[in-house]
């Protein structure tokens, strides 16, 4: 564990009238971590961030920063800095004044501020842009100015509220790497809010998957992707094919599931649910598109699925086959493009196979909206 | 064909519209330069600047302007402060109360100024008495009462202006400032206030103008400090002179000047911003080459033209002496009057001869027709006689109204002038 300051949420409840925005959240964020809250819009992740930064008092429970309870401490007294979704750069101040606003508050001289601004501008690769107004910068430059402004306050914890959502795709991908690098360089705790699973997976040490005010799973990116704890986590993070059914037999960490339309299939019970699932339970099996492959015709068994191909598409890096699936939802098969030839299967019935370790079984639950 | 007709109609409409809007102002301004003693454009007598001189010698007008300025400044401070507080509250208040609050705060605009004036007077008088203060206390001071009375509704105007700007304020900016360690006071002073500055300036100008031109409310509250509008109203009761036109002209000129100045400044900022956007990093790091002040700035050009015109007019005014012209006009009028008198004398002579002849015939000595003849002539000549007098202006010791009176009066001034 690095030297940074950790953040803990203890039994955190946040209500707005009758509406429960956050339900009993318990999160331990290690100091120096890049931690993401991942969830669809309206799931309460921004509310958690506002509670950490001090703009919102929790209805119940505590926010601890570096072990200190933050109850009753205002946002201007907390060792946090927030990067707003719309960045909230001060439109009438020049870039360098924006960046060093926290120093102005403390009464630093203009020369000191200039010096610090130049250092930070150097760090965010915007040298000599200090005299411009924020409106004269591009989206990505503004983004970096907002980061510099937050870092100038020397916070222990940097909070980021979907800061990349306003940028175009190319810039977003570029900023991911840049953010991660900045975080490694300054070594402070980053708490990142996003609905983009790509951002969360590429940047985070740990991710909390949120759904309607509830935290479904907290784990590192690989675990979330490969070993989801709930149907929501499995369907929200990355693409996934779902097979509904009932558990027929439990065999240690594996189970045989009687699916609604593809017969009996074998799957691995996800780590979080091992020992908790028993025969007769409603369950969902998830297989990633890239974990499915075309099997020789006529193959049968508990890891083969047969289905009619609806349509196909060529994506460049992959060749996608969509077959009829469970409950109107198509099964997607993604075959990596390694230079082999693809034959057209449209209208044919094909057999798909998978490896048991790639099929994850979780209790039946709510799926993420498309 | 149809299209061009439409276009012409639009231009005609515009011409009529602007004539309706600006016509009175233009005429009033022109009368300030006519030497005629009554403010009018025709007949044009002499170009003169004497009315400006007279205006600045009129202690009541000067005192009125002074009081108006003091009260205007007080009203600006009070109204903008109250308007800002009201606007801030409107954005913070519980949404369900917002409509009610808005109605209450806007109500003073809808209440007649007369009612506000009376109620201000009554209310503060009551408070004055409750506190046991005398009639000369601060609370019954004319300036205090006028500022308070005017601010009751001018603050609402200010609030409307400020709310419009405040609605575009992103509350995240305040939050960002707080998050970076600012106190609420610092966030307000360093972030929100600078953002509100243009609207505050607009509100201040609006408040000042509303205060300056206010009559309804002030008429009840001014006490011993009559404002310019009060003085003007009182003056008009005793007759109006072109000195009032001169004042109107100055006000119009100042308004046009500041409007142009503001427009030129805004345009310049726009141009600078555009230039900065195009500027490269090196240019920004080094010296920014600002666009020339006039490039594409119509308002600036007009402003300079305006300034040149002002300097010309003031220069002419100091160098120009209309005395010769006025003397000429007077002389011409005297000549006209003399010829008229000659004619009249001739006429009278003829009649006398006629009458004498008749009398000689009838032997009857009756002089009844004489007054009726005089009054008949008097009606014809009265306006001209008045002109002659007014043309002489203040230097003329005679009282014009007396000319309109008795029949003998018609002839008196003319004959007097003729004798001079």
Give the pLDDT confidence of A64-91 residue by residue, as tens digits: 998 888 888 888 888 999 998 888 899 9
Which of B181, B196, B269, B282 has the highest number of chain A CBs within 10 A, making it the mutation to test binding with A?
B181
Closest CA to B331 of B45, B50, B49: B45
Give backbone dihedrals phi and psi of A354, rounded to 5 degrees, phi first. -145, 165
Residues of A engaging B, defined by a Cβ cutoff of 8 Å:
53-55, 74-77, 80-82, 84, 86, 88-92, 101-102, 104-106, 128-129, 131-133, 136, 149-150, 153
Q: Where in chain B is the domain with CATH 1.10.3720.10?
A: 53-240
Q: Do A90 and B276 touch (CB under 8 A)?
A: no
pLDDT of residue B9: 92
Q: Do B284 and A132 touch (CB under 8 A)?
A: yes
pLDDT average per 10 residues of sequence, chain A (370 residues): 76 89 90 90 88 90 89 88 89 91 89 90 84 87 88 89 82 84 87 88 90 90 90 89 88 86 85 84 90 82 84 87 79 87 82 89 83
Query: What is the spatial distance between Cα A280 and Cα A245, in angstroms, rounded to a whole number?
Result: 9
Report the residue of chain A nearest B170, measured CA to CA.
A88
Residues in B touching A131 (Cβ below 8 Å): 284-285
| SS3 track for A73-139 | CCHHHCCEEEECCCCCCCCCCCHHHHHCHHHHHCCCCHHHHHHHHHHHHHHCCCCCCCCCCHHHCCH
> Is CATH 1.10.3720.10 correct for B53-240?
yes
Over the stretch B67-92, which tens digit does the pLDDT of each residue have?
Answer: 999 999 999 999 999 999 999 988 88
Q: Which DSSP state fits A265? A: E
Of B242 and A94, more confident:
A94
pLDDT band at B363; cut points 50, 70, 90: low
Query: What is the spatial distance between Cα A22 and Cα A10, in angstroms, rounded to a whole number?
Result: 12
Query: What is the spatial distance between Cα A167 and Cα A154, in angstroms, rounded to a whole number?
Result: 26
Over the stretch A189-237, which tens digit does the pLDDT of each residue have?
Answer: 999 999 888 888 888 999 999 988 889 899 998 999 999 999 999 988 8
Q: Which of A81, A84, A131 sits opposite B284 (nearest CB)?
A: A131
- Whole-number average pLDDT of chain B: 79
Q: Which of B180, B195, B284 sits opposite A153 (nearest CB)?
A: B180
Q: Looking at the complex, report in whole angstroms how far the Cα of residue A188 sits from the nearest Cα belonging to chain B.
A: 16
pLDDT of residue B50: 80
Over the stretch B36-72, which tens digit does the pLDDT of each residue have?
Answer: 777 777 777 777 778 888 888 888 888 888 999 999 9
Q: Looking at the complex, report in whole angstroms how far the Cα of residue B162 sits from the nearest Cα belonging to chain A.
A: 18
Query: What is the spatial distance between Cα B88 and Cα B81, in angstroms, rounded to a whole number?
Result: 11
pLDDT of residue B91: 83
Contact B67, B228 (CB under 8 A): yes
Average pLDDT over residues B260-267: 86
Report the residue of chain B nearest A55, measured CA to CA.
B175
Contact A147, A179 (CB under 8 A): yes
Closest CA to B206 of B166, B266, B249, B161: B161
Residue B131 predicted with pLDDT over 60: yes
Q: Looking at the complex, report in whole angstroms how far the Cα of residue A72 sits from the nearest Cα belonging to chain B.
A: 15
Residues in B touching A105 (Cβ below 8 Å): 177, 180-182, 186
CA A149 to chain centre: 25
Q: Which of B181, B194, B277 sits opposite A153 (nearest CB)?
A: B181
pLDDT of residue A327: 66
Query: What is the spatial distance between Cα B408 and Cα A96, in angstroms, rounded to a whole number?
Result: 87
Q: Which domains does chain A have, with CATH numbers?
A: 7-226 (3.40.50.300), 240-363 (2.40.50.100)
pLDDT of residue A308: 86
pLDDT of residue A101: 92
Contact A125, A179 (CB under 8 A): no
Report the residue of chain A nearest B193, measured CA to CA.
A92
Contact A231, A242 (CB under 8 A): yes
Average pLDDT over residues B131-157: 86
Residues in A touching B186 (Cβ below 8 Å): 105
User: What are the residues facing A321 on neighbouring strands?
Assistant: A312, A333
pLDDT of residue B255: 85
Q: Which of B170, B180, B191 sits opposite A102 (nearest CB)?
A: B180
pLDDT of residue B196: 92
Which of B94, B179, B273 has the highest number of chain A CBs within 10 A, making it the mutation to test binding with A?
B179
Residue B326 predicted with pLDDT over 80: no
Closest CA to B250 of B56, B114, B108: B56
User: What are the residues facing A318 on neighbouring strands?
Assistant: A336
- Whole-number average pLDDT of chain A: 87
Task: Provide the ipTM.
Answer: 0.80
Q: Looking at the complex, report in whole angstroms how far the Cα of residue A23 sits from the nearest Cα belonging to chain B.
A: 25
């Amino acid at each position: 564990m690095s030297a940074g300051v950790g953040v803990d949420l203890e039994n955190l409840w946040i209500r707005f009238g009758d509406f429960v925005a956050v339900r009993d959240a318990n999160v331990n964020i290690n100091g120096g971590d890049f931690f993401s809250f991942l969830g669809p819009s309206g799931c309460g992740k921004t509310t958690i961030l506002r509670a950490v930064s001090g703009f919102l008092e929790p209805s119940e429970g505590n926010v601890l920063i570096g072990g200190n309870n933050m109850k009753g401490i205002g946002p201007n007294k907390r060792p946090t800095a927030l990067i707003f979704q719309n960045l909230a750069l001060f439109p009438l101040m020049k870039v360098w004044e924006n960046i060093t606003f926290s120093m102005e508050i403390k009464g630093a001289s203009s020369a000191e501020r200039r010096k610090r601004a130049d250092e930070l501008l150097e760090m965010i690769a915007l040298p000599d842009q200090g005299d411009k107004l924020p409106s004269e910068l591009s989206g990505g430059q503004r983004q970096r100015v907002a980061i510099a402004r937050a870092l100038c306050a020397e916070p222990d914890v940097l909070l980021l509220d979907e800061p990349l959502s306003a940028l175009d795709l190319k810039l977003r991908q570029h900023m991911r790497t840049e953010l991660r690098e900045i975080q490694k360089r300054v070594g402070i705790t980053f708490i990142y809010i996003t609905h983009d699973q790509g951002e969360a997976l590429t940047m985070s040490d740990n991710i909390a998957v949120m759904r309607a005010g509830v935290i479904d799973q907290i784990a590192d990116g690989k675990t979330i992707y490969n070993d989801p704890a709930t149907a929501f986590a499995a369907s929200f993070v990355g693409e996934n094919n779902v097979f509904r059914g009932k558990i027929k037999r439990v065999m240690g960490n594996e189970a045989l599931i009687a699916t609604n339309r593809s017969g009996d299939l074998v799957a691995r019970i996800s780590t979080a649910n091992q020992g908790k699932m028993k025969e007769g339970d409603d369950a969902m099996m998830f297989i990633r598109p890239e974990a499915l492959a075309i099997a020789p015709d006529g193959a049968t068994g508990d890891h083969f699925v047969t289905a009619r191909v609806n349509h196909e598409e060529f994506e460049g890096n992959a060749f996608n086959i969509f077959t009829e699936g469970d409950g109107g939802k198509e099964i997607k098969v993604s075959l990596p493009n390694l230079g082999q030839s693809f034959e057209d299967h449209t209208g044919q019935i094909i057999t798909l196979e998978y490896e048991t370790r790639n099929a994850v079984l979780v209790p039946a639950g709510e799926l993420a909206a498309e | 064909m149809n299209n061009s007709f439409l276009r012409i109609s639009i231009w005609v409409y515009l011409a009529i519209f602007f004539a309706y809007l600006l016509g009175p102002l233009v005429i009033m301004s022109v009368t300030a330069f006519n030497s005629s003693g009554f403010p009018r454009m025709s007949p044009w007598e002499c170009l003169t600047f004497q009315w400006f001189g007279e205006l600045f010698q009129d202690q009541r007008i000067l005192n009125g302007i002074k009081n108006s300025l003091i009260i205007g400044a007080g009203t600006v401070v009070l109204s903008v402060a109250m308007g800002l507080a009201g606007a801030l509250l409107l954005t913070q208040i519980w949404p369900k109360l917002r409509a009610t609050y808005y109605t209450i705060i806007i109500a003073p605009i809808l209440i007649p100024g007369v009612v506000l004036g009376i109620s201000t007077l009554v209310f503060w008088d009551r408070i004055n008495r409750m506190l046991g203060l005398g009639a000369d206390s601060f609370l019954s001071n004319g300036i205090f009462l006028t500022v308070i009375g005017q601010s009751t509704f001018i603050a609402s105007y200010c609030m409307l202006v400020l709310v419009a700007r405040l609605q575009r304020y992103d509350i995240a900016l305040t939050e960002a400032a707080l998050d970076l360690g600012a106190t609420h006071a610092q966030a307000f002073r360093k972030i929100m206030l600078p953002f509100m500055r243009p609207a505050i300036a607009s509100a201040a100008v609006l408040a000042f103008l509303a205060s300056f031109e206010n009559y309804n409310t002030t008429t009840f509250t001014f006490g011993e400090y009559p404002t310019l509008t009060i003085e003007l109203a009182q003056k008009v009761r005793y007759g109006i002179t072109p000195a009032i036109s001169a004042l109107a002209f100055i006000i119009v000129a100042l308004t046009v000047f500041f409007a142009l100045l503001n427009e030129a400044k805004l345009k310049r900022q726009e141009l600078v911003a555009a230039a900065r956007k195009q500027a490269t990093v090196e240019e920004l790091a080094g010296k920014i080459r600002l666009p020339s002040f006039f490039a594409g700035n119509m308002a600036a050009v007009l402003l300079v033209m305006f300034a040149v015109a002002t300097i010309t007019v003031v220069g002419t005014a100091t160098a120009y002496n209309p005395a010769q012209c006025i003397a000429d006009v007077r002389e011409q009028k005297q000549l006209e009057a003399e010829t008229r008198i000659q004619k009249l004398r001739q006429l009278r002579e003829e009649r006398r001869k006629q009458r004498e002849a008749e009398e000689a015939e009838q032997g009857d000595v009756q002089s009844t027709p004489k007054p009726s003849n005089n009054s008949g002539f008097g009606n014809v000549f009265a306006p001209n006689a008045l002109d002659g007098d007014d043309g002489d202006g203040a230097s003329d010791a005679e009282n014009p109204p007396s000319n309109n009176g008795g029949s003998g009066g018609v002839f008196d001034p003319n004959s007097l002038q003729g004798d001079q």
